[in-house]
């Protein structure tokens, strides 16, 4: 395995490099290709060149992955990455108000640019470790241009496919540079791996009207040619806002609405009619209790919208996509059976293919990258997972979809490729000085919490 890694590294700078992964079960998530029980995948440069049985490629580095599943990398459509050094600091948070008061009002103002870097880097490396190759960082602590620069540099340094969704902080002092600074960020950092979006909130209830999505913010995004991600889409106030946006022409496929719990049927119809995207946060909605506390998968599907999935806040939640898929799978099927119980009606249940579709192809579409990643489709970027299907917790391989969704966890991610570059190999994320990272994370956490306590006194 070391010799193969050495060869992968040697070829990493060759834009014409060819890597042939052979002998695996291939879950493409491409509607036309489906699941291939035993096949090969050819990477050329940063793209998928071919998928199918018995491929041949001259001069390719051939890697036998028999006993594994090849799958597209997961897509996290919404995570507040800067908070990562505060992981599980409030595991039993009772509601949104408690989260906002403690984290956004109490701790966030103490963050320096270096703390933004450390938290975002930790989140991105953890994402790669668990098979998330694309992460939208809803960076809502952009107090200065330097804070934004630090957050984006962390994405660059980890090699993840990163989407920096920039938003000014909810509370505390800041430089007033947002949203104008988005133009500089796009010009400075925009690349094949780093894209930008405008981040905003649905209404002014949490932090005032300036943060609520509006014609002004929509124009900013459209002038830059970037998408919009709208957080805190909850209940009747957001439902009324959605109807207003639809009338103003502010919704479309380039706009993603996050959470979407407790919305009215009219709001869902407006979202469907305009082609708006939806990002669900299954564990966040259920565990923290956001509005109805029920992930809005049934409402989305009834409206004809296939959502993406998100991690949201690690201060109270798990960091991986497997947890999101399983939580949504279980919650929806429980509710479907419960609703039909005693009625004689057949429950309408989603399956493992649905939640894997949400975590990959639909996630990519939700954040404007559907033509880039999300499936093992020839021509797309080579964001590929090699998952151990014969590991102790997965053997024997009977159903690749079921194994990915219900059996696997981060320990089974043997290798991760992002744009054809190896980022995890033999079960370990590459190019990390773990001891140094641990020291940086602890030092940042301790300093931030001490500063927040001091400022609060």
353 backbone dihedrals φ, ψ, rounded to 5°:
-65, -40
Residue showing tokens 């299954």: 282
What interhelical angle do 145-158 and 181-189 show, nearest 10?
Answer: 30
Q: Is pLDDT at 424 greater than 80 in this prediction?
A: yes
Q: So what's the pLDDT on residue 457?
A: 44
Task: Please compute the mean of the pLDDT values over residues 299-317 and round it to a whole number.
Answer: 98
Q: So what's the pLDDT on residue 205?
A: 84
Q: Is pLDDT at 209 greater than 90 in this prediction?
A: no
Dihedral (C-alpha) 387, 388, 394, 397: value to the nearest 10 degrees? Answer: 90
Q: So what's the pLDDT on residue 408?
A: 98
Give residue-wise pLDDT tens across range 154-172: 999 999 999 999 999 999 9
Look up the CATH superfamily of 74-366: Metal-dependent hydrolases (3.20.20.140)
Q: So what's the pLDDT on residue 328?
A: 98
Q: Give the C-alpha separation, 84 to 119, whole Å.
A: 5
For residue 456, what pLDDT band results from cuts at 50, 70 and 90?
Answer: low
Look up the CATH superfamily of 2-72+383-426: Urease, subunit C, domain 1 (2.30.40.10)
Q: Where in the chain is the domain with CATH 2.30.40.10?
A: 2-72+383-426
Q: Give the C-alpha separation, 149 to 153, whole Å.
A: 6
Among residues of the chain, what percentage have pLDDT more than 90?
97
Q: So what's the pLDDT on residue 381?
A: 98
Give residue-wise pLDDT tens across range 128-145: 999 999 999 999 999 999
Paired tokens of 245:
């946006």
Q: Give the C-alpha separation, 452 to 232, whole Å.
A: 24
Task: Please compute the mean of the pLDDT values over residues 192-197 and round it to a whole number.
Answer: 97
Q: So what's the pLDDT on residue 1?
A: 72
Distance of CA 76 to the CA centre of its chain: 1
Give the chain's end-to-end CA distance (angstroms, integer): 55
∠ at Cα 155 (438, 103), nearest 5°?
65
Q: Is pLDDT at 185 greater than 50 in this prediction?
A: yes
Q: Give the C-alpha separation, 73 to 70, whole Å.
A: 9
């Amino acid at each position: 395995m070391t010799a193969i890694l050495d060869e992968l590294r040697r070829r990493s700078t060759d834009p014409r490099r060819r890597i042939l992964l052979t002998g695996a079960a291939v879950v493409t998530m491409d509607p036309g290709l489906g699941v291939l029980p035993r096949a090969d995948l050819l990477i050329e440069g940063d793209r998928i060149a071919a998928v199918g049985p018995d491929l041949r490629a001259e001069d390719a580095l051939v890697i036998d992955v028999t006993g594994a599943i090849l799958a597209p990398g997961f897509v996290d459509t919404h995570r507040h990455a800067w908070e990562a050094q505060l992981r599980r600091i409030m595991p039993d948070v009772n509601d949104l108000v408690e989260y906002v008061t403690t984290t956004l009002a109490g701790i966030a103002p103490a963050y320096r640019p270096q703390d933004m870097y450390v938290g975002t880097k930790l989140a991105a490396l953890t994402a790669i470790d668990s098979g998330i190759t694309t992460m939208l960082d809803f960076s809502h602590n952009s107090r200065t241009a330097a804070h934004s620069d630090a957050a984006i540099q962390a994405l660059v340094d980890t090699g993840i496919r990163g989407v920096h969704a920039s938003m000014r902080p909810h509370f505390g002092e800041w430089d007033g540079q947002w949203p104008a600074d988005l133009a500089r960020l796009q010009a400075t950092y925009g690349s094949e791996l780093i894209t930008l979006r405008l981040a905003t909130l649905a209404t002014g209830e949490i932090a005032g009207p300036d943060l609520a999505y509006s014609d002004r913010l929509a124009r900013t995004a459209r002038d830059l040619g970037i998408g919009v991600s709208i957080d805190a889409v909850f209940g009747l106030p957001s439902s009324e806002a959605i109807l207003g946006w639809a009338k103003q022409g502010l919704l479309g496929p380039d706009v993603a609405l996050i959470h979407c719990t407790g919305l009215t049927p009219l709001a869902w119809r407006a979202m469907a009619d305009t082609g708006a995207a939806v990002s669900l946060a299954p564990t966040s909605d259920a565990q923290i209790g956001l509005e109805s506390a029920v992930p809005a998968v049934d409402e989305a599907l009834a409206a004809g919208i296939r959502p993406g999935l998100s991690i949201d806040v690690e201060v109270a939640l798990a960091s991986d996509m497997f947890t999101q898929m399983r939580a949504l799978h279980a919650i929806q099927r429980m509710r479907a059976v419960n609703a039909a119980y005693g009625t004689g009606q057949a429950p309408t249940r989603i399956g493992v293919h649905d939640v894997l579709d949400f975590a990959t192809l639909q996630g990519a579409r939700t954040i404007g990258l559907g033509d880039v990643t999300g499936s093992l489709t020839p021509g797309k970027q080579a964001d590929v997972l090699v998952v151990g299907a014969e590991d102790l917790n997965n053997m024997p391989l009977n159903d690749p979809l079921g194994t990915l969704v219900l059996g696997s966890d981060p320990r089974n991610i043997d290798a991760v490729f992002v744009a054809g570059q190896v980022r995890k190999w033999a079960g370990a994320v590459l190019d990390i000085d773990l001891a140094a990272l641990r020291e940086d994370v602890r030092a940042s956490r301790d300093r931030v919490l001490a500063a927040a306590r001091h400022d609060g006194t």
